[in-house]
């Protein structure tokens, strides 16, 4: 998908090192936040102990949290923490867009791929910051959910979980592949994070919604309807689930078995893949019947049926999680445990909502039926009173919110920045070589036939490279140079972009003008494509250490270098420009790298 592939190895050491460094620095910020909160909490406790008992009105007793809500809040809080830990795997920075996100959207409609590509491009352009932000947002959400037991902080944690889950579901899971062919509950439909979103919305509901069994019935009924629909899809002829060796399910399980994982886990999944290959019809029949019957039981809401359906559904989910979804985490790029654990949390929360209602009458206590939130709660005195009543849970919840902000704050401007991080270019080309020597002179002619010498460019910063005029398939260097000039803004007119023809056969002005037309460079005012006689060109190639080798049917191979020459005519940096596949993110990253090098050279004095 365009713009999503960084063109780098997922284990690129430069990206991995930068990712770890960013995690470390942002982790230290989070530690400081927690230490500050603990210090404040200690001061508050000291003052509270010294205050007269009558000076602090007792807090009205809060109604106990319904068990169903507690299951969702703590269960999905733990899942977010696990997801954050998985996001900290070293390969995430370089591999998530191209290895995880893009393949999941390839069979979806075009508009879905466009949405996913928009999100994946942000990651591909800023992989280090995006990967680090995902870690802290998810771990922070988990801590916040677990610690915030009741009140507005808890409800806001649910909203935050739902909001982040929606972002991940759209951009990371391609809407759970619900618009793609081959949709199946067994393989994760409707996407694990869609269940996180559902749980977040349920947690954000007002307290009165949890009184009585109604919400539990609605939750289980909704799950029942969905499972019945999934059973129908699973049984639909022509979707490949009834076949054995060449069936859709067999291919999925075989693919999971081939991932890097513990030997025992691989053996279990491989054995099930062989069984599915031999008995695909039977496996699918069991899945269809189990989904359909469980869905009908949930939809009925009858306690007697639920007492049988809940354990059976639990076994079904765990079996699918182990045998089909392969725990969702092996391979080094697993981002969550997949959908079966979230399904179990939602199921048992719904069951708890039915069997452990707030009271026998199904009516909520008066304090839960009414939302008592007014402007009076925002008065300084009221705020100070709430701060004074702070607990250890409050400290953890605020620390979790702080971790979320540590992830959100740097990522928000990065997502609006349409230029790639230069770390991508440095990962490919290595660090620039710092030089301090006079640039070899030359006297050549431009693409328009005008004489140009290095001396005539004195007073301007020069980005000098060598370019084959027959570059036709992938010619990123001119675009990177002009991109760097554009990024310089008004100061770009102080920079000359100079390319010298590097082809021992096809080097005349007709060829240089042809490449200008091909790459849209004819109207760029500070672009010069120089050439001369073969003898002149060979002298310049040699003086700059450029080796040009002839390749059939006329193209050439040379070193991809950019020399940064300051206003005084001295070479200050030598940048190896080897963009590999020439992806959008790589071209943008090299443009940023060249812009930064030009700025540094422009800041130097005119005299060496």
Reported as a single tens digit per residue, the pLDDT across 26-78 is 999 999 999 999 998 888 777 767 765 555 556 566 678 999 999 999 999 99
Looking at the predicted structure, is the pLDDT value of residue 196 above 80? Answer: yes
CB burial of residue 238 (10 Å; 0-12, 13-18, 19+): exposed
CB burial of residue 44 (10 Å; 0-12, 13-18, 19+): middle
Q: What is the DSSP letter of 495?
A: E
**pLDDT tens, 281-329?**
999 999 999 999 999 999 999 999 999 999 999 999 999 999 999 888 7
Question: H-type helices in 258-336, by residue range?
Answer: 263-278, 280-300, 303-323
pLDDT band at residue 532, thresholds of 50, 70 and 90? very high
Looking at the predicted structure, is the pLDDT value of residue 373 above 60? Answer: no
Give me the architecture of the 423-602 domain, per CATH: 3-Layer(aba) Sandwich (3.40)
Q: What's the pLDDT at 361? A: 40
Looking at the predicted structure, is the pLDDT value of residue 608 above 90? Answer: no
Q: Residue 467 forms beta bridges with which residues?
A: 501
CA 552, distance to chain mean position in Å, is 43
The whole-number average pLDDT for the span 532-543 is 95
Q: What's the pLDDT at 386? A: 58
- In percent, the amount of the chain with pLDDT more than 90 equals 57
Contacts of 418 (CB under 8 A, 6+ apart): 125, 588
Contacts of 370 (CB under 8 A, 6+ apart): 208
Q: How far apart are CA 292 and CA 594, in angstroms?
A: 60
pTM of the model: 0.88
Taking the C-alpha atoms of 551, 555, 558 and 563 in order, what is their torsion angle to the nearest 10 degrees?
A: 170
Quick check: 555 and 457 in contact, CB under 8 A? Answer: no
* Residue at token pair 């922070």: 140
CA 305, distance to chain mean position in Å, is 42
The torsion region of residue 205 among left (phi > 0), alpha (psi -120 to 50) and beta comes to beta
Q: Which of 139-143, 180-184, 349-353, 395-399 has the lowest mean pLDDT?
A: 180-184
CB burial of residue 592 (10 Å; 0-12, 13-18, 19+): buried
Looking at the predicted structure, is the pLDDT value of residue 364 above 60? Answer: no
Q: Parallel, antiparallel, or unpaired for β 556-558 and 548-550?
A: antiparallel
> What are the tokens at 60?
């009205």
- H/E stretch holding 349 reads helix 340-355
CB burial of residue 523 (10 Å; 0-12, 13-18, 19+): exposed
Q: What's the pLDDT at 246? A: 80
Q: How many CB atoms lie within 10 A of CB 43?
A: 10
* Residue at token pair 């050491």: 13
What secondary structure does DSSP assign to 213-231, as a single string?
SHHHHHHHHHHHHHHHHHH
**pLDDT tens, 83-132?**
999 999 998 998 888 778 877 788 889 889 888 888 888 898 999 999 99
Q: How far apart are CA 24 and CA 544, in angstroms?
A: 41
Backbone angles phi, psi at 429, to 5 degrees: -95, -10
Of residues 258 and 366, more confidence is placed in 258
> What are the residue boundaries of the structural domains of the chain, listed by start?
13-52+64-369, 423-602
Q: How far apart are CA 87 and CA 456, in angstroms?
A: 53
**Buried residues in 267-282 as b, exposed as e (16+ CB within 10 A):** ebbeebbebbbeebee
* Residue at token pair 């009076």: 376
Q: How many residues does the chain have?
A: 608
Average pLDDT, the chain: 87
Contacts of 127 (CB under 8 A, 6+ apart): 6, 15, 19, 93, 94, 96, 97, 421, 423, 424
What is each CA distance from 562 to 42, 149, 385, 500, in whole angstroms? Answer: 58, 58, 64, 11
Q: How far apart are CA 567 and CA 5, in angstroms?
A: 37
Is 550 strand, coil or helix?
A: strand
């Amino acid at each position: 998908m365009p713009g999503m592939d960084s063109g780098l190895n997922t284990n690129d050491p430069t990206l991995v090192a930068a990712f770890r460094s960013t995690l470390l620095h942002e982790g230290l910020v989070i530690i400081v936040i927690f230490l500050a909160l603990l210090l404040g909490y200690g001061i508050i406790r000291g003052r509270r102990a010294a205050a007269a008992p009558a000076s602090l009105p007792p807090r009205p007793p809060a109604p106990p949290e319904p068990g169903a809500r507690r299951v969702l809040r703590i269960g999905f809080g733990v899942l977010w923490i696990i997801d954050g830990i998985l996001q900290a795997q070293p390969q995430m920075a370089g591999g998530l867009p191209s290895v995880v996100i893009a393949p999941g959207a390839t069979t979806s409609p075009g508009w879905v791929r466009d949405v996913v590509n928009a999100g994946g491009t942000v990651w591909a352009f800023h992989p280090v910051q995006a990967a680090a932000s995902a870690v802290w947002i998810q771990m922070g959400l988990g801590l916040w959910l677990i610690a915030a037991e009741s009140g507005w902080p808890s409800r806001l944690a649910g909203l935050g979980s739902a909001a982040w889950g929606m972002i991940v579901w759209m951009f990371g899971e391609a809407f759970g592949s619900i618009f793609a062919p081959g949709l199946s509950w067994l393989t994760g439909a409707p996407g694990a994070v869609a269940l996180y979103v559902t749980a977040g919305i349920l947690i954000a509901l007002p307290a009165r919604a949890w009184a009585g069994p109604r919400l539990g019935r609605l939750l289980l009924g909704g799950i029942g309807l969905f499972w019945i629909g999934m059973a129908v899809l699973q049984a639909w002829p022509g979707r490949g689930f009834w076949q054995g060796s060449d069936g859709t399910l067999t291919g999925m399980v075989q693919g999971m078995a081939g991932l890097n994982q513990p030997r025992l886990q691989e053996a279990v999944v491989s054995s099930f893949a062989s069984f599915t290959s031999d008995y695909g019809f039977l496996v699918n029949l069991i899945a269809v019947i189990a989904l359909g019957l469980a869905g009908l039981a949930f939809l009925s809401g009858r306690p007697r049926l639920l007492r049988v359906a809940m354990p059976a559904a639990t076994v079904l989910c765990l079996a699918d999680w182990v045998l089909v979804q392969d725990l969702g985490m092996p391979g080094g790029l697993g981002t969550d445990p997949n959908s079966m654990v979230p399904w179990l949390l939602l199921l048992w929360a719904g069951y708890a909502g039915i069997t452990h209602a707030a009271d026998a009458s199904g009516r909520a206590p008066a304090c839960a039926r009414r939302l008592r939130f007014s402007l009076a709660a925002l008065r300084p005195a009221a705020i100070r009173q709430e701060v004074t009543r702070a607990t250890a849970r409050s400290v953890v919840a605020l620390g979790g919110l702080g971790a979320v902000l540590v992830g959100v704050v740097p990522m928000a401007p990065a997502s609006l920045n349409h230029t790639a991080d230069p770390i991508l270019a440095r990962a490919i080309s290595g660090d620039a070589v710092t030089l301090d020597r006079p640039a070899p002179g030359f006297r050549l002619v431009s693409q328009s036939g005008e004489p140009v010498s290095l001396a005539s460019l004195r007073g301007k910063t020069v980005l000098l490279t060598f370019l084959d005029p027959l570059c036709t398939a992938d010619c990123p260097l001119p675009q990177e140079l002009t991109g760097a000039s554009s990024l310089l803004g008004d100061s770009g007119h102080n920079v000359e972009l100079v390319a010298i023809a590097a082809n021992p056969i096809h080097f005349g002005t007709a060829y240089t003008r042809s490449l200008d037309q091909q790459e849209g460079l004819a109207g760029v005012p500070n672009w010069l494509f120089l050439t001369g006689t073969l003898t002149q060109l060979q002298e310049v190639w040699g003086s700059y250490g450029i080796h040009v080798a002839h390749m059939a049917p006329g193209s050439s191979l040379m070193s991809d270098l950019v020399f940064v020459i300051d206003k005084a005519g001295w070479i200050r940096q030598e940048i190896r420009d080897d963009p590999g596949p020439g992806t959008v993110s790589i071209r943008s990253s090299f443009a940023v790298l060249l812009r930064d090098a030009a700025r540094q050279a422009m800041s130097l004095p005119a005299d060496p």
